[in-house]
Amino acid sequence: MKTLRDQCLLGARLSGEILLDCHAHIGRGADYVIPDGDPEALASEMNRLNIRGAFVFQFTGIQTGETTIGNDIVADACRRVPGRFMGMTMVNPVFERDVLPELERCFGLGFVGIKLITHYQGYPEDGPLFERILGFAHERGLPVLNHAWGPKLESWLKTFPKVQFICGHWDPGRAELVRAYENLWVCTCLPIAHESFERGMASLRPDRVMWGSDMSDLQFGCGLGPILLARVSDAIKRRVIGLNMLELLETCGIAVPDGW
């Protein structure tokens, strides 16, 4: 049986493997062209690569107050390609009065988690509205993916143990916290290099790292290749590219779509 590295070098489809993406965008609104960014095209590419599903969130409202428009685009994608995308609600805490109503609205539409990107929105990384957002997630046992968590992360891990905190980008510097708390996960989302992944996995818990592509910002293979080619065991690679996200879904009580 060929190793995952060999299959990657041969350009083979990873048939029989479980590939799940914890960090993908959908929709327009970025400052550059996004070719083949509609839901059907993304689903087709995922099928070609045997990627079973993905957490998806918007581009549209990253640096504006238009998160409602972007969340509607995500909801539409989930309806158009059922069983492939799992929506994450993006909110902008700068527009304080809109945050909780938008969370309530989106979870009524079937969204399964929350995406934060306050690093780009000009909101303090330890701002007071975090407590209300995390409280909402704690009551429902939701995953919350943040582009970059701030200095209060450990305090929040203790205060909101039912929240599954996801570091949105590769951050091996969180290894000590990951070892100490069951509800902290690290996404491999770029920038990541072959040796960076190998070095990081030497200190991170292999059961708390999940592959993230940053699609449609980047192609799926940009972040998948460095994992498949890394000098770590196939058992660890399988956890990172899909099995760990399955565990997170089970922890949060998120139903696995038919066909996975």
Average of per-residue pLDDT across 96-104 = 96
The predicted pLDDT at position 37 comes to 79
Average of per-residue pLDDT across 237-259 = 94
The predicted pLDDT at position 32 comes to 67
The predicted pLDDT at position 63 comes to 65
The predicted pLDDT at position 191 comes to 66
Question: Mean pLDDT across the chain, nearest whole number?
Answer: 92
Average of per-residue pLDDT across 31-49 = 85
- Whether 228 contacts 13, CB under 8 Å: no
Instruction: Look up residue 247 and give its two tokens.
Output: 């565990």
Contacts for 120 with CB less than 8 Å, ≥ 6 apart: 62, 63, 147
Low-confidence winner among 99-113, 149-163, 219-233 (lowest mean pLDDT): 219-233
Q: 4-252 in CATH: which number?
A: 3.20.20.140
The predicted pLDDT at position 29 comes to 65
pLDDT surpasses 80 at 255: yes
Per-residue pLDDT tens for 123-132? 999 999 999 9
Contacts for 104 with CB less than 8 Å, ≥ 6 apart: none
The predicted pLDDT at position 195 comes to 84
Break the chain into its structural domains and give their ranges. 4-252
Q: Which residues pair with 185 in a beta bridge?
A: 166
The predicted pLDDT at position 5 comes to 95
**What are the angstrom distances between the C-alpha of 109 and each of 70, 103, 218?**
13, 10, 27
The predicted pLDDT at position 27 comes to 82
